[in-house]
């Protein structure tokens, strides 16, 4: 199991999440539950921390329109075009120059404005999108992790595992097992 240091992989910008009091209350609640669970059940603590981090990631990805329309960042249409290109090419190699070409920008200028917009490099963003898509596939199928890794552009399962752990704080296998164990009680009650 990873350490709490693994959760620093995405450094959320608190002032962006702080714009929605409901999100802040939910994050606070999750962190309190993680703190209580830490004494007896580290797996549950990691689950609560993972949910809180996901909320922070989402809050940061949904920055207000003004932040995306500055002369220093990407616009909404540019972001949508990049997301569409990434989603359509998850299994292929995606390089920064490929992304820049989608917007008719030089690679260096694109990298600069991309980092200003998202706070991470283009390749880190692509890796995050790949992990999100892989997680969705892991929830709806029982395909081996190696096949899921290849389907989402990872050269092998170990590369997939390293990237997955960096993004979520858990190995893909442990994440899948947790999701399966959380889904079971709901199915048993039906």
Among 164, 169, 163, 132, residue whose Cα is nearest residue 45: 169
Domain total of the chain:
2
Q: What is the pLDDT of residues 81-123, one digit of tens each?
A: 999 999 999 999 999 999 999 999 999 999 999 999 999 999 9
Residue 54 and residue 93 in one domain:
no
**pLDDT one-digit tens code per residue, 60-79:** 655 443 444 445 789 999 99
Is residue 186 in a domain? no
pTM, full prediction: 0.61
Residue 1 lies in a domain: no
The more confidently predicted of residues 180 and 92 is: 92
**Whole-angstrom Cα distance, residue 59 to residue 53?**
10
CATH of the domain at 135: 1.10.10.60
> Which range of residues forms the domain containing residue 25?
7-62
The tokens describing 95, both together, are: 């390089």
End position of a domain, from candidates 15, 30, 62: 62
In this structure, the answer to whether residues 86 and 119 fall within a common structural domain is: yes
């Amino acid at each position: 199991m990873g350490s709490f240091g693994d959760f620093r992989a995405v450094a959320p910008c608190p002032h962006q999440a702080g714009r929605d009091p409901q999100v802040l209350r939910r994050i606070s609640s999750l962190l309190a539950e993680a703190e209580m669970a830490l004494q007896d059940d580290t797996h549950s603590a990691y689950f609560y921390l993972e949910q809180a981090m996901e909320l922070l990631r989402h809050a940061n990805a949904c920055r207000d329109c003004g932040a995306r329309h500055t002369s220093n960042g990407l616009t909404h249409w540019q972001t949508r075009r990049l997301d569409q290109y990434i989603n359509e090419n998850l299994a292929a190699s995606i390089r920064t120059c490929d992304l820049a070409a989608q917007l008719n920008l030089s690679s260096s200028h694109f990298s600069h404005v991309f980092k200003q917009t998202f706070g991470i490099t283009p390749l880190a963003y692509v890796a995050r999108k790949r992990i999100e898509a892989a997680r969705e596939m892991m929830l709806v199928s029982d395909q081996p992790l190696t096949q899921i890794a290849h389907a989402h552009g990872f050269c092998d399962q170990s590369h997939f595992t390293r990237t997955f752990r960096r993004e979520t704080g858990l190995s893909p296998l442990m994440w899948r097992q947790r999701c399966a164990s959380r889904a079971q009680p709901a199915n048993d009650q039906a």
